């Protein structure tokens, strides 16, 4: 038996007990006549003591040679500590060691295994197995486990069935690029790794499974942005014989359950907002509603003067910054430089100070009088002491720019409290979006999303106006889940694929198995998928998903620990009938 107890459980009630512990050496303090060792495992830290009066000389010398991260086993007696440590649960006791066994030695770690380490992110990723020993990473992985267990408990109690779907599937042309896998047994042919189990969960509904879920890996070969992984985990769900409200009710329930059980937070209201309103008021489809600063559209009160910048703009829009009138001119200039960065892309920013005496001072006083500026304040809900920030330009671009500014200002003002949770449903997305590069419409969600009832005829006359029977669940400015009511009949699915540019032959080749299934009694169905990595991070009060993934990849999609992706040898290429044509 390597241990009778773990390193986090011994208390004063265990004094005089004989115990066996195993773990890693966290720290050694050698006073010559006495040696203290902090022994660590997943559960905590227990202090060991060796002293020359009670410890044999050979064991004392052995203890003095222990190094950080040595793996050891000790046997000994629980005794009361002379100098208690109130900062750890085991701080009232220590172990007087009677036997010491070194199970394994260790090189000096490349960074300190402490809560606050001296290791940079890339170094810690290279030695991730050491990083996991640190409390912040260890606790995040335990937290993720707790969330997934609560998800399974809730859905199982709602009669959902967990079903595994294949990882080696057929490549389809919609969405991001597929990761492809060559088939040795089928020369010249390839599997794809699933971007989601979308078609399989629909087939499960055809198969009568009624309520399905799966906590599943998904794969997308797309250009990586900060905090995005090429492989990620979804809580994938589907239900048959349901309408939109049925699905929203179930997953509001799941979200409430997680917030209560994991965070101890009770949430009652899940507001619903139309996609068009989210874009108009917040500039994006996943608004953070923990704070205000809603957009005010100013075209009507800015385009009546000789200010060409505003007159030529498709949209003039502003926000009120609470207390922003206290900003110095230098601070405002820095804010202007911030919005002009390439990542944001604004050409500049106009502002108006809302003075305490009810007057206004603007950077464009030459063109706008006090009455004009008062209207700016009214439309943006600015009060005395606030600052109105105004951007202008093409509608979609300027909304995205002001959205970025709103979030940056909220962060600076401390308005994004990670302990406050504000869920929101965003509804009625466009069914299609125009792609300038391909000069055709693409599905905003996926090709199997149903249009809103009564709108399918618009596909022939005004496809850009068709709304999807789709919904996203947003939490604290992050999309944590999204789904839709699906198309469940072959004729409607054929119309949808036609408008996405598929010929009848292409549609049959790519999706014939699904359309054939629809002819065998497919029920009305719909579903939703949560992004587990993002959900866990937000519930954990953080925004970086890597900290909640055991072995994440870096921004280049590389695993620097195992050095993947990597080349394969010529024999493997030949066996797979592959030939590389790499341009230098």
Binding region = 174, 220-222, 229, 445, 479, 486, 531-534
Alpha-carbon distance 74 to 39, whole Å? 10
In our burial notation (b when 16+ CB lie closer than 10 A, e otherwise), range 23-58 reads bbbbbbeeeeebbbbbbbbeebbbbbbbeeeebeee
CB of 191 closer than 8 Å to CB of 168:
yes
CA dist., res. 13 & res. 17, Å (int):
9
CA distances from 117 to 41, 122, 131, 353 (A): 18, 13, 9, 44
Quote the Cα angle for 312-372-399, to 5°.
45
**Cα–Cα distance between 380 and 382 in angstroms, integer?**
5
Question: What CA–CA distances, in Å, run from 509 to 196, 457, 567?
Answer: 19, 26, 32
For residue 320, give both structure tokens.
């009120």
Residue with tokens 């290279």: 126
Closest listed residue to residue 512, CA positions, set 493, 527, 538: 493
Angle at 145 between CA 144 and CA 148, to 5 degrees: 85
Q: Report the distance separating Cα 10 and Cα 294, nearest Å.
A: 54
Per residue in 355-383, is it b (16+ CB within 10 Å) or e — as a string? eeeeebebbbeebbeeebbbbbbebbebe
The binding site for ATP comprises 220-222, 229, 479, 531-534
* Helix/strand/coil for 438: coil
Sign of CA dihedral 266, 272, 276, 277: negative
Adjacent-strand bridge partners of 321 = 387
Whose CA is closest to 168, among 154, 177, 176, 180? 180
Binding residues for L-aspartate: 174, 220, 445, 486
Tell me the CA end-to-end span of the chain in Å, nearest whole number.
Answer: 58
CB 553 within 8 A of CB 565: no
Phi, psi for residue 377 in degrees, rounded to 5: -65, -40
- CA separation for the pair 581, 584 (Å, rounded): 10
At 93, which helix (H) or strand (E)? strand 93-104
Q: 532 and 233 in contact (C-beta within 8 Å)? A: yes
> To which H or E segment does residue 136 belong?
helix 135-157
State the Cα–Cα distance between residues 433 and 303, nearest whole angstrom.
30
Report the C-alpha dihedral over residues 258, 262, 264, 268, rounded to 10 degrees: -10
150: number of Cβ within 10 Å: 17
Tell me if residue 94 falls in helix, strand or coil: strand
Q: Token pair 């049925």 is at which residue?
A: 246
CB 518 within 8 A of CB 574: no
3-state secondary structure of 460: helix
């Amino acid at each position: 038996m390597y241990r009778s107890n773990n390193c986090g459980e011994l208390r004063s009630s265990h004094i005089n007990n004989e115990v066996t512990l195993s773990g890693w050496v966290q720290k050694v303090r050698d006073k010559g006549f006495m040696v203290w060792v902090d022994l660590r495992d997943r559960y905590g830290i227990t202090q060991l003591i060796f002293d020359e009066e009670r410890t044999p000389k050979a064991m004392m010398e052995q203890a003095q040679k222990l190094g950080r991260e040595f793996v050891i086993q000790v046997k000994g007696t629980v005794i009361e500590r002379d100098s208690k440590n109130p900062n750890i649960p085991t701080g009232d006791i220590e172990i007087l060691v009677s036997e010491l066994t070194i199970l394994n030695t260790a090189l000096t770690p490349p960074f300190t295994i402490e809560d606050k380490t001296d290791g940079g992110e890339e170094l810690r990723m290279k030695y991730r197995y050491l990083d996991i020993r640190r409390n912040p990473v260890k606790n995040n992985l335990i937290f993720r486990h707790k969330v997934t267990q609560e998800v399974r408990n809730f859905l199982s109690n709602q009669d959902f069935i967990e079903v595994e779907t294949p990882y080696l599937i057929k490549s389809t042309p919609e969405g991001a690029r597929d990761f492809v896998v060559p088939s040795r047994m089928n020369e010249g042919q390839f599997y794809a790794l699933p971007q989601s189990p979308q078609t399989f969960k629909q087939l499960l509904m055809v198969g009568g499974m009624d309520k399905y879920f799966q906590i599943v890996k998904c794969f997308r070969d797309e250009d990586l942005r900060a905090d995005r992984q090429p492989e990620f985990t979804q809580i994938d769900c589907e239900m048959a014989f349901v309408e939109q409200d049925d699905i929203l009710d179930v997953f509001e329930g799941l979200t409430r359950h997680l917030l209560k059980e994991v965070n101890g937070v009770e949430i009652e209201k899940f507001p619903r907002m139309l996609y068009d309103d989210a874009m108009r008021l917040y500039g994006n489809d996943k608004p953070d509603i923990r704070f205000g600063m809603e957009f005010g559209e100013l075209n009507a009160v800015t385009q009546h003067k000789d200010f060409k910048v505003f007159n030529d703009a498709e949209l003039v829009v502003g926000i009120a910054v609470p207390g922003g009138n206290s900003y110095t001119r230098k601070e405002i200039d820095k804010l202007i430089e911030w919005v002009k960065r390439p990542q944001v892309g604004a050409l500049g920013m106009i502002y108006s100070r809302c003075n305490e005496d009810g007057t206004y001072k603007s950077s464009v006083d030459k063109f706008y009088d006090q009455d004009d500026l008062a209207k700016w304040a009214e439309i943006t809900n600015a009060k005395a002491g606030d600052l109105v920030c105004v951007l202008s330009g093409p509608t979609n671009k300027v909304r995205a720019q002001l959205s970025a500014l709103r979030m940056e200002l909220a962060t600076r003002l401390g308005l994004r409290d990670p302990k406050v949770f504000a869920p929101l449903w965003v509804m009625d997305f466009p069914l299609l979006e125009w792609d300038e590069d391909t000069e055709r419409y693409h599905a905003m969600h996926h090709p199997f999303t149903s249009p809103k009832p009564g709108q399918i005829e618009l596909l022939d006359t005004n496809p850009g106006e068709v709304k999807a029977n789709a919904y996203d669940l947003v939490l604290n400015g992050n999309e944590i889940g999204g789904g839709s009511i699906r198309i469940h009949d072959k004729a409607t699915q054929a119309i949808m694929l036609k408008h996405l540019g598929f010929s009848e032959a292409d549609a049959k080749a790519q999706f014939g198995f699904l359309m054939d299934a629809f002819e065998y009694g497919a029920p009305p169905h719909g579903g939703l998928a949560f992004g587990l990595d993002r959900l866990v991070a937000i519930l954990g009060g953080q925004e970086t998903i890597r900290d909640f993934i055991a072995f994440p990849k870096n921004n280049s999609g590389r695993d620097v620990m195992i050095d993947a992706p990597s080349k394969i040898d010529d024999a493997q290429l030949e066996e797979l009938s592959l030939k590389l044509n790499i341009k230098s």
